[in-house]
Amino acid sequence: MMVMKRSLALALAGLLLVGLLAGCGRRSTSAASSESQAPSSSESQPASSVPAQTEASTPSATPDEDENSVLTISDPAAAFASCLGWGPGSAGSSLKSVQAAADLLAWAEQNQLSRQGPDLLAGVFGRWYDGLEPLQQENLAEVWPLVQADAAALLTAKSDMLPRIQDAGLDPNLLPGCTVKNWQALEDVLDSRLPKNVGEY
């Protein structure tokens, strides 16, 4: 009886051992198979596509400034102030005429009047002129021939006017301070707008 129990125990132990060995073998085979199927981490990945470089946008070229482009014309009130309040034959009129001519020459040059459209210049002057009192308009028309003549002399024969220039307190080195073209642009507007043959101031 004892022999049979011992033989049965040995048989069961043998079966158990065989089962354990079989299970370990399957796990080893499965693990090996999994390792062989897993992709190697050292495999090179496909190179990422390099985005094409976009050419830097070229800034649009700044168009050249038009040499004849319209500029801004400043208020003529200050420039023409020296043309008002005196008349031909009045005390100091010869010096006041030189001062007025110098002021108008400087304004014509400052605003580059030869580059302005004639309609624009006429409009700027016209708005200022229309705002004057009737007596001031008449006064301007009366002194304009004197101022016009002195401006022309400053442009063409300044040396002949040196005594008057100095007596008026002006710097001869700064005169005429204007080109003939810029002065003529202003001259044309005044000649066309101011009345002729006005009475004495």
Interval 77-87: pLDDT, tens? 999 999 999 99
Alpha helix stretches (DSSP H) within the chain: 2-37, 77-80, 93-110, 118-130, 134-156, 162-167, 180-193
Q: Are 116 and 184 in contact (CB under 8 A)?
A: no
Q: Are 108 and 183 in contact (CB under 8 A)?
A: yes
CA atoms within a 13 Å half-sphere pointing along the CA-CB vector of 2: 0
What percent of the chain has pLDDT above 90? 61
Q: Are 116 and 70 in contact (CB under 8 A)?
A: yes
User: For the chain, what is the mean pLDDT?
Assistant: 79
User: Can you give the pTM of this predicted structure?
Assistant: 0.65
What pLDDT is stored for residue 130 in this prediction?
Answer: 98
